Structure 1
Amino acid sequence: MTTRVVGRGDTIEQLRQAVQRHRLVSIVGAGGIGKTTVAVSVAERATDAFPDGVWLVDFATLRDSALVPHSIAGATGLAVHSANIMPALCRFLRDRRMLLVLDNCEHMAAAIGDCVRQLLQEAPDVHVMATSRAALHVGGEHEHRLPGLAVPVASTGLNAEAALGYPAIELFVDRATDRLETFVFDDAAAPTVADICRSLDGIALAIELAAMRVDVFDVKGLQKQLSDRFRLLSGTRAGLERHRTLAATLDWSYGLLPPDEARLLRTISVFAGAFRAEGAATVGDTATGPARRMVAELASKSLLSVETDASGMSYRLLETTRAYGLERLAEAGEDAPVRRRHAEHVCGVLERAASEWGQQPSRDWGATYGSQLGDLRAALAWAGAEPEQQSLMIRLTSVGVLLWNHFSLTDESRAHLTRAIAALREAGREGSAVEMNLQFALAGAILYTRGVTSDARLAIAHALRLSMTLDDTDFHLRCLRLIGTMELFFGHHDAAIRTLESFLAIATAEDPSALAEGESHLGVGETFVGRIEDARLRMARLHAKHAQDFNDTRFARFQYSNSVNTLVVMCHAEWLTGRPDAAARTAETILVYGHQAAHELSLSIALAWNSLVYLWLGNVEESRRHAAMLDELVERHGIVTWTPIVTFCRGAVAAMEQPGRPEAITLLTRAVAQFRTHGHMARLPWYSAVLAEVLGQAGRFEEAEAVVGEARSLATSQNEKWCEPEVLRIQASIATARGRPEEAEPLLHAAIHLSQEIGALSWQLRATHDLARLWRARSRPVEAADLLTSVLARFSEGFGTPDLRAATGLLAELQR
């Protein structure tokens, strides 16, 4: 059924002009479809004024005021997963000229008003059009009170032709004809229909509800029914607000329903979004056949809207009708049992989703079950507030893990997981498979939203013990992989390698399908401890073997895409072993795979690693771009683990653009502190050495020497051989800048020797370049030239990179 906006041309044109002149326009009315259709019509006519788009945000099904900014962000294309989304949302909208149409704001007016107030302050070219029963009370708000559809004044001489010139009567006739094909609107019916529309204040939804009863009553009968209904309000009728007219009409329409339909209407009001007839049957505690018939009948009476997609027909309540249904549900004393059935229904749907997860591509799975997020949130809110429903809350949380992971709702999941685990003992579920699942999920959520904290380590240790007690090989492998990840993050690389080798041994014997996941992480450890060529070859084999599977994003088993993980290791190993062009090509592929995964956590890993390799490649713009994209993800998802990398890359880029720049020192110092705070110790020796180098460039030599000395000690204690040659080279550069070449030369020899030992040709080139410059300054140009020639001869690509250009330029000078 299509709702038309009839006879409102002047109103729509006035509003079109208003939304262009004013930052906030509120369309205020009684409720129902009238406000929405007018707003949509205005938006359609205003698109030319807003080059960045017109975006509709429907708050009809929202129940949690904290999710207001998330709804706006999601509607505008900004992924929503952090608990604190407002900074990211403001930044996302700051430079855009767009119109936000916020529909059905009445029940969230305060929260929406707060959000709109901040957006209008932070995003100067964003305009907002809101529909509500009352104004939002935000400064600068232009309020437009939407009148009812025009109706004729009381008259005895109204004929059918003249009556159809009034929008309210046109709507009534249109809906009555939909309901009853034999309905005839003639001169005799015109005065009666006009009186009905006047009594309903021209409210579109009220008119629809009345017209849809023309099959039960003729127009005279409808007139009498409504007159009787409103006579009860005669004492206050003159001052009655229009939304009370709508409420009274709803009450009348509800009162005409057969008892089974009335009961179903109030029970399905607990659905937060669209639902199918089968869901209505479950929640309504009735058979599917009768439920299917009743929801179809409720839709035909305008009490439900119908949505059709490839998977079938679903239904949705308008916010006005939903609110009414919830009131009747509470009044009937049925709220608790209905909400319990709703929560159990959500559990059932998500358990089915889990069984289907491995049977279809991830995108299709997400499209099918993503709509359950609203109902999952609603069910958790209810169960979590009911002390006697803690077992159900735990079950809901457990089945929600896969959905949260799929949509990278890491920060949201952490809060639910923590609450569910705290309730396990009282519910008698300690030591169960449910606890194992919750503890594992919590460990991952904490890792990416808080870092390698003691809580994260305790959670994964508990999950591991349970996996062994319960003899669950799948979770045993998941736990080992996550423990290995934490150990790598924390700089315990030798321990991580042992953990991942245990993973591979178990997988080889019991579950070969998991081998690729273990090998990719073992490659990370191998790279860090200086087995760089081993890691590169391992990743190349892994990529070749599983390339056909890399577009399949079924990554939830191990939390993120292994295709991305494999390539980031390969990319770093390629650069380190002297293949910069190959590394650049792989970095481009990584970003493609990160986007294809349609999984923000996987994309964040791609961006974090790529932003670093672009620094090594000397590609300042790409490093800056990747860090900026990563920063947006961090804000949107609360994945604070990557915050230090964003800060570091900004500082490193600033230093590359202007050596010794104070801003660069500030940013790099902050980054090193952030890495330590989050327990993100991997690569910290290199990060610290870069800070030392920039301090030296600024002439702050004592600080530089102290920082680089700490970096060397940390590289030794963490066995980070991969970066030791560069740390030594930077230490030598500081000694050289202080006029102590006798200290610098042995450091550079050590850097070259260690580079050769671990196969880090790119570090060797840098150290060789610095040693050649030192020898030239000490009148040894021939030796310097020979040294450079021997290293450059080992490169077959990358001659456009800054490192190779600098080395070949120096060689040319030495050979003159």
Structure 2
Amino acid sequence: MQPVLMIFEDVHWIDPTSLELLTVMVDQVPQLRVLLLINARPEFAPPWPHYAHVTTVALTRLSRPDGAAIIERITGGKTLPEEVMNQILARTDGVPMFVEELTKTVLESGVLQERDGHYVLEHPLPSLAIPTTLHDSLIARLDRFAPIREVAQIGAVVGRSFSYELLNAVAGIPREKLEEALGQLVLSELIFRRGEIPHAVYTFKHVLVRDAAYSSLLKARRANLHAAIAGAFEQRFPEIVEAQPETLAHHLTEAGLIEKAVSYWLKAGKNAVQRFANLEAIAHLQRGIETAGRLPDSLGRDRLELDLQFTLGPCLIATQGPASSTAIATFARGRELCARLGDPPEYLQVMFWLATGSVIRGELPQAREVTATLLGLAEARNDRPMLINAIRGLGMILLFMGHVVDARELTERAIEAFGASSETEKLAARAAGQDAGAAGLALMSWALWILGHVDMAAARMAAALQRADAVGHPHTQAYACYYASILHALRGEPAIAHRHAERCLSLSEEYGFRHWHGLSRAIRGICMTMLDPSASTLEEVRDALDHYRSAGYQLGITALYVLLCPILLLRHEPEAALEVIEQGLSAANHNSERIFEAELHRLKARALLLCGAAGSETHAQLLLDRALTTARSQHARSLELRAAKDLAALWIGQGRRDEALAFLAPIHAWFTEGFDTHDLKEAKVLLDQLQS
């Protein structure tokens, strides 16, 4: 493989998708024969980690000798009068492009004459002969080439790059004069050409050159040119209309053709959604919403904005989470627009988004009431996509509230409804943020594990992952991978859990899933410590949990707590474990998230026994009794087995072996599957000891 030099310039202006590609390239560079150079302004914050193979060099202003060297290169080695040289160096203040452009401005101004291999001043240097800013310098150069200035201005309206074909379509200039003007711009190095006419593409030397040309236009002329460019795209370049509707949207917006512009911003957003480019979709849709605000109040404007907000919702759910302030504001605005439009079809989904935000914030009882109402409305309206999501959403709420049997029944019902739906309905149900089929199977797997069907749970989770991969929807894949990582960690399979956590994290980093990014970091760190108790990853876990809570997220936090506590106990840190347990119990009481309440009581008993304080056995007995009562009330067989095993171990230490055997044996005997999992193996070992 030949060595390659790759250069990315002005990365502070990079679009989200290109930045994702660049981030992957930076990660892969050590395996390639590539020297990758990236330049950007100081405000650019690289999204990649501090790799050992990445070196950052801060570029300071040029020294006086370096500036003089650039001037000498531009003059072809011919010296300038000292007065002119000093003014150029003083006014450019070490900015390379300014040095270059100002030198060319002076050379083109006519104040200098070439003599015997150097330049001289024929007359004293006028006070305004040398512009004081880069912008003034660029304007001066354009003004000096009056015949070509108009061509540069038209090109600037198109953008940083423009094709000969498009320019010829809108300029209204004879071909010969157009080509002559373009040739002069190329010779002046204000623009560069790639390819040959009529297929040539021109690029301004720098965005500041383009900006200078653009700013020299009167506003009315700019608007007319933007409208002409948009019209040319629609009439002559249908492939751009289809692939880059945001380009037309921009020109139509600047032309003041607002309603048409909004429809193209919507199309651009939808195109980006289809590519899973959520950040680009958000940018296009928010620009469309901003543009729609320039229309007069009317139901038509409200309808246009609702289309934009409705497309924006799932993008925000994926990237920021449904409880983020931006997402909640979008959902609330959607509700307001629905009210003004008189209960349109989107109303139920918008209300479901708001309920989902409440779920993520831990407001489970309120969300349960709203979602139950939505379910009834969906049934009354025969709205199949909303019905699927409402059933699944209510099942999720009940699962986290600890009503596991009801949760299983609802998720089964949601999966059945999903299976009986058309592909169009299945796709419409994805407005909730993820594929309803994969999400329903993932939820059911947790319910089945808690109810004691541990192998059936693994099978449902495998089906969820398979469905997520089959539809190829990245946010669904991240969702399923996170649920899979928790399930396999609960089953005592940290290696499998770690693999799913890594994939969830990778997807989150690639597609900007902020919500799953923190959660996957936490479960990954927990799994790494399970595999190697000496690993120093717990600080990362704590940071991820703190970040999750500080963002206002609450749902599912107890699952991570009950996985973290056994590690702390193995590391003989019972005080730290008790602190985490108290946070979990507080969440159970405050948020009604009681899915792992029994496990929290069990772990608290273990932590107290490890502390060894006076009366710890008595207190532990009470906590284990409470854990058993809670687990039985929830029909949580897996959690009941754990509590029973710990209580039996406590009784063995008290010499109550027969009671322990009689108590543990029937609980273990209930299970008909999962005998190769950690919990059932431990219970079997304990029973064998008691029976020997």
Q: Deviations over 1:371-405 (max 9, x none)?
A: 97751243344455x27355444332233343333
Answer whether contact 1:650 1:667 (CA < 8 A) is retained. Answer: no
Paired residue secondary structure (1:797): coil
Q: 1:783 to 1:629 in 2, by over 3 A?
A: same
Match of 2:573 among 700, 705, 711: 700
In the other structure, the counterpart of 1:776 is: 652
For residues 365 and 611 of structure 2, the distance between their equivalents in structure 1, rounded to whole angstroms, comes to 36
For residues 273 and 787 of structure 1, the distance between their equivalents in structure 2, rounded to whole angstroms, comes to 81
For residues 807 and 339 of structure 1, the distance between their equivalents in structure 2, rounded to whole angstroms, comes to 75
Match of 1:602 among 465, 469, 476: 476
In the other structure, the counterpart of 1:436 is: 306
For residues 118 and 751 of structure 1, the distance between their equivalents in structure 2, rounded to whole angstroms, comes to 45
Q: 1:599 to 1:630 in 2, by over 3 A?
A: same
Answer whether contact 2:438 2:468 (CA < 8 A) is retained. Answer: yes
Verify: 1:675 aligned to 2:548, yes or no: yes
In the other structure, the counterpart of 1:485 is: 356
Give the alignment of 1:543-692 within 5 angstroms: 543-547=415-419, 554-555=427-428, 556-659=430-533, 661=534, 663-692=536-565
Q: 1:690 to 1:542 in 2, by over 3 A?
A: closer
Match of 2:588 among 715, 720, 731: 715
Match of 1:455 among 306, 326, 332: 326
In the other structure, the counterpart of 2:247 is: 378
In the other structure, the counterpart of 1:815 is: 691
User: Could you tell me the TM-score, scaled by structure 2's length?
Assistant: 0.69
Paired residue secondary structure (2:440): helix
Verify: 1:24 aligned to 2:5, yes or no: yes
The CA deviation at 1:491 is 1.1
Match of 1:798 among 642, 651, 674: 674
Residue identity opposite 1:463 in structure 2: G
The CA deviation at 1:752 is 1.0
Paired residue secondary structure (2:596): helix
Q: 1:392 to 1:681 in 2, by over 3 A?
A: same
Q: 1:538 to 1:424 in 2, by over 3 A?
A: same
Which range is displaced more, 398-407 or 526-535? 398-407
In the other structure, the counterpart of 2:338 is: 467
Q: Deviations over 1:647-668 (max 9, x none)?
A: 2112211332244x46243122
Answer whether contact 1:732 1:748 (CA < 8 A) is retained. Answer: yes
Q: Deviations over 1:567-607 (max 9, x none)?
A: 11111111111111111112221111111112212212111
In the other structure, the counterpart of 2:273 is: 405
Q: 1:402 to 1:25 in 2, by over 3 A?
A: closer
In the other structure, the counterpart of 1:507 is: 378
Verify: 1:337 aligned to 2:224, yes or no: no
Residue identity opposite 1:399 in structure 2: K
Q: Deviations over 1:547-570 (max 9, x none)?
A: 365977624544431111111111
In the other structure, the counterpart of 1:415 is: 283
Verify: 1:90 aligned to 2:26, yes or no: yes
Give the alignment of 1:14-413 within 5 angstroms: 19=2, 22-24=3-5, 66-67=13-14, 70-71=17-18, 86-91=22-27, 93=28, 96=31, 321-323=199-201, 335-341=225-231, 374-383=243-252, 386=254, 388-413=256-281
Paired residue secondary structure (1:426): coil
User: Could you tell me the TM-score, scaled by structure 1's length?
Assistant: 0.59
Q: For structure 1, list consecutive stretches of 5 or more residues without a partner in the other structure.
A: 1-15, 27-58, 74-79, 103-107, 126-265, 275-279, 286-316, 350-368
For residues 162 and 445 of structure 2, the distance between their equivalents in structure 1, rounded to whole angstroms, comes to 44
Question: How many percent identity over aligned positions?
Answer: 22
Q: 1:581 to 1:65 in 2, by over 3 A?
A: same
For residues 629 and 47 of structure 2, the distance between their equivalents in structure 1, rounded to whole angstroms, comes to 57
Paired residue secondary structure (1:733): helix
Q: Deviations over 1:678-720 (max 9, x none)?
A: 3221022332344444334333333332331222111111111
For residues 693 and 796 of structure 1, the distance between their equivalents in structure 2, rounded to whole angstroms, comes to 26
Paired residue secondary structure (1:24): strand
Which range is displaced more, 445-454 or 502-511? 445-454
Residue identity opposite 2:415 in structure 1: H
Q: 1:319 to 1:640 in 2, by over 3 A?
A: farther
Residue identity opposite 1:421 in structure 2: I
Verify: 1:725 aligned to 2:593, yes or no: no
The CA deviation at 1:424 is 3.7
Match of 1:542 among 408, 414, 418: 414
In the other structure, the counterpart of 1:446 is: 316
Paired residue secondary structure (1:721): coil
For residues 195 and 29 of structure 2, the distance between their equivalents in structure 1, rounded to whole angstroms, comes to 32
Paired residue secondary structure (2:673): coil
In the other structure, the counterpart of 2:106 is: none
Paired residue secondary structure (1:428): coil
Residue identity opposite 1:460 in structure 2: F
Paired residue secondary structure (2:643): helix
Answer whether contact 2:310 2:334 (CA < 8 A) is retained. Answer: yes
Q: 1:110 to 1:746 in 2, by over 3 A?
A: closer
In the other structure, the counterpart of 2:367 is: 496
Kindly indicate whether structure 1 or structure 2 has the higher relative contact order, using CA contacts under 8 Å at least 6 residues apart: 1
Q: 1:667 to 1:319 in 2, by over 3 A?
A: farther
Q: Deviations over 1:482-512 (max 9, x none)?
A: 1222122111111222221122111111133
The CA deviation at 1:89 is 4.5
For residues 808 and 345 of structure 1, the distance between their equivalents in structure 2, rounded to whole angstroms, comes to 76
Match of 1:787 among 655, 660, 663: 663
In the other structure, the counterpart of 1:749 is: 625
For residues 752 and 676 of structure 1, the distance between their equivalents in structure 2, rounded to whole angstroms, comes to 29
Aligned length: 545
Paired residue secondary structure (1:474): coil
Q: 1:604 to 1:89 in 2, by over 3 A?
A: farther
Residue identity opposite 1:90 in structure 2: V
Paired residue secondary structure (1:554): helix
For residues 89 and 639 of structure 1, the distance between their equivalents in structure 2, rounded to whole angstroms, comes to 20
Residue identity opposite 2:267 in structure 1: V
Q: For structure 2, list consecutive stretches of 5 or more residues without a partner in the other structure.
A: 55-154, 171-193, 206-213
The CA deviation at 1:791 is 1.2
Answer whether contact 1:752 1:764 (CA < 8 A) is retained. Answer: yes
Q: 1:462 to 1:24 in 2, by over 3 A?
A: closer
In the other structure, the counterpart of 1:33 is: none
Paired residue secondary structure (1:537): helix
For residues 427 and 159 of structure 2, the distance between their equivalents in structure 1, rounded to whole angstroms, comes to 32
The CA deviation at 1:804 is 0.9
Residue identity opposite 2:419 in structure 1: A
CA RMSD of the aligned region, Å?
4.4
In the other structure, the counterpart of 2:146 is: none
For residues 746 and 792 of structure 1, the distance between their equivalents in structure 2, rounded to whole angstroms, comes to 22
For residues 474 and 802 of structure 1, the distance between their equivalents in structure 2, rounded to whole angstroms, comes to 49
Q: 1:325 to 1:768 in 2, by over 3 A?
A: closer
Q: Deviations over 1:327-382 (max 9, x none)?
A: 9xx99998423332367689x99xxxxxxxxxxxxxxxxxxx9x977512433444
